[in-house]
Structure 1
Amino acid sequence: MNSILQRLDRLSDLFLSPAARKVVEHSLVRVSLTLFLLHAAVYAVHELGWLPFQMPESLFGHPLHILYTPFSAILVAEVYLLVYHLPSSFARSMGKQLEIVSLIEIRSVFRDLSVLQETAGKDTVMPWNDPFFPHIVGAVLLGAALVGFYRILPRRKARMEEQELARFVRFKRHLASLLCLVLGVMALWGFGHWLTDLVSYAGGNRLEPIDPNSVFYSDFFTALIFVDVILLVTSLRYLSEYGLILRNSGFVIATIILRLSFALEGWSAVAHEVLAAVLALVLLLLQAGLMWGTRRLGPEGERE
């Protein structure tokens, strides 16, 4: 058993150390720039008609589609930071989930703006009727919710004995390191699936490649739900404060709602995302109110 724990400790140091975070961030910046230039080059060759095969219009039909690629690398960095913060703060991990979804909405704006550019001048359409409008509203509302979320987020305080705290943090680091492995496998699987569809399209199959959101992010959030539930159940052993238990339970529900939004489109998806953000914000307010009431009543809950 000790040998397994030691291996998990080494795995945690490999994936979740400050040095590892710096390497991942710098690497993803380089990958983002490389993919941006590669996408731009393929788009130029595609427009000049030099490719001996067809490429999907959803990726190479408009210059704005090029912006989709670097945003994908940025989103992978945000997903890694979510896992990185998971051992230190359940609440900060929830905030990272909202950040990821807001960036996905921003990325979707570029996709739908290209459609608008292609149809410009044909019909007079008000902005709120455009396909990109729900994504802009969703990104802005999620950003506004995050302002309140981080403003209300209380400073971390030890609520258990030092030995128990160290044991709980160690368990969370082990779980987060395993989630990093799952993240890597999902990323490779999703990219491979998407690349296979792209090659199939170029070979004559005219089905559009799958949406990366439907492969990677929905599966990752599904895995994250199970991790959150494990952390919630485990935390009951170390935490007895009702406000924290209520907050963490609600965060799991918010994660499930965010996961459901990936299967929806337009305003339905935005409504679910905003609902999850509002739920997380209200839960922080409830926790703050319960903490204030506990301090006012005293540790025994009795008035003098």
Structure 2
Amino acid sequence: MVIILSRVDRLFNALEHFWEHKRTERTAANFLIIAFLGTIILIELRRQGWLSEELAAILPSSHYYAINVAFSMLLGLEVLGLVFSLANSVADSVGKQFEILSLILLRHSFKEFIYFNEPLMWEEASKPVLHILSNASGGLLIFLLLGLYYKLQQHRAITQSSVATADFIASKKLVSLLLLLLFSGIGIIDSYFYLTNQQTFDFFAIFYTILVFSDVLLVLVSLRYSSNYQIVFRNSGFAVATVVVRLALTAPPYYNVLLGVGAMVFAIGITVAYNRFEKKPIVKP
């Protein structure tokens, strides 16, 4: 088991170094720009009737759909960032989940535009604009609450020795690599369904469903190293927050914002209670 965790540690560190490299960030940003502009061009070609029937069948007719494509790809990149954050800190990985939720709410706001004609007319936008404002306001509230959440974090080691700490981190890295494989497979399958004009599924709903199980798994893994009540309660509470976030993704307008903001407030409450009663010394992240 020690040999396996050692190899997992090396593989994870290599992938994380590649992902966080400035060159990778610039390449990802350039890819998003090309995808956004390319989608706009392809949609315009479809509107002019210059594409084959097979290609035109999988393209929408509204230019606003390009915004949805760009944001979906951006969220996919954020998902990969979340996978790598799981190995660093449970609290930070939960914060990353709420970051993604806030971006999903903004994506829902832009998604309303794909149902509009061009140019925009108030008669057809009067009702969807309420959904746009609701989702955008929810994303803003979570953004503001995240600042408080991160400020409250006080990182504490849950183990009493450096060897146990390294073992625990390596275990979390193993979970992260498994999630990376799952999310990559789901993304490839969903993309294939879309390109072949088949029924696609909600990638981010599945993503958060898997996160619920991974959070519970991390709670159980942490029990190998500490059965401290405060730690168990905090990690279990964060798993509950993930469940509420999952419900927010499938809830109708307005309720999704209430659930998302409520989960954020609950996570902050968990953090305040943990800081109040946990007496272990604070360590650097």
Larger radius of gyration: 1
> 1:126/1:170 Cα in 2 relative to 1: closer, same or farther (>3 Å)?
closer
**Aligned partners of 1:5, 1:170: CA distance in 2, in Å?**
6
Is the CA contact (8 Å cut-off) linking 2:131 and 2:254 kept in structure 1?
no
Counterparts of residues 42-191 of structure 1 (less than 5 Å): 42-53=42-53, 55=56, 60-115=60-115, 120-122=121-123, 125=126, 130-154=130-154, 156-160=155-159, 161-191=161-191
Shifted more, 167-176 versus 45-54: the winner is 45-54
> 1:126/1:174 Cα in 2 relative to 1: closer, same or farther (>3 Å)?
closer
How much does 1:186 deviate?
A: 1.2
Amino-acid identity (%):
28
Give the partner amino acid of 1:232. V
How much does 1:114 deviate?
A: 4.7
Deviations 1:258-283 (A, max 9, x none): 11222222112222212211111111
Equivalent of 1:258 in 245, 252, 260: 245
Give the partner amino acid of 1:276. A
How much does 1:117 deviate?
A: 6.1
Q: Indicate whether 1:242 and 2:241 are aligned.
A: no
TM-score (norm: length of structure 1): 0.81
Is the CA contact (8 Å cut-off) linking 1:24 and 1:77 kept in structure 2?
no
**Aligned partners of 1:99, 1:6: CA distance in 2, in Å?**
31
**Aligned partners of 2:26, 2:188: CA distance in 1, in Å?**
19
How much does 1:10 deviate?
A: 4.1
Give the partner amino acid of 2:69. T
**Aligned partners of 1:117, 1:290: CA distance in 2, in Å?**
56
> 1:228/1:124 Cα in 2 relative to 1: closer, same or farther (>3 Å)?
closer
Deviations 1:54-103 (A, max 9, x none): 8579x633333222222222111211111111111000100110111111
How much does 1:11 deviate?
A: 3.0
Q: Where do 5+ consecutive residues of structure 1 fail to align?
A: 201-208, 296-304
**Aligned partners of 1:252, 1:179: CA distance in 2, in Å?**
16
> 1:148/1:56 Cα in 2 relative to 1: closer, same or farther (>3 Å)?
farther
Is the CA contact (8 Å cut-off) linking 1:36 and 1:69 kept in structure 2?
yes
Shifted more, 181-190 versus 2-11: the winner is 2-11
**Aligned partners of 1:284, 1:2: CA distance in 2, in Å?**
33
Q: Where do 5+ consecutive residues of structure 2 fail to align?
A: 281-285
Number of equivalenced pairs = 276
Deviations 1:87-133 (A, max 9, x none): 11000100110111111111121121454565624379488x63312
Shifted more, 246-255 versus 110-119: the winner is 110-119
Aligned partner of 2:20 in structure 1 is 21
Is the CA contact (8 Å cut-off) linking 1:28 and 1:73 kept in structure 2?
no
Equivalent of 2:269 in 253, 267, 282: 282
Partner-residue secondary structure (3-state), 1:38: helix
Is the CA contact (8 Å cut-off) linking 1:116 and 1:130 kept in structure 2?
no
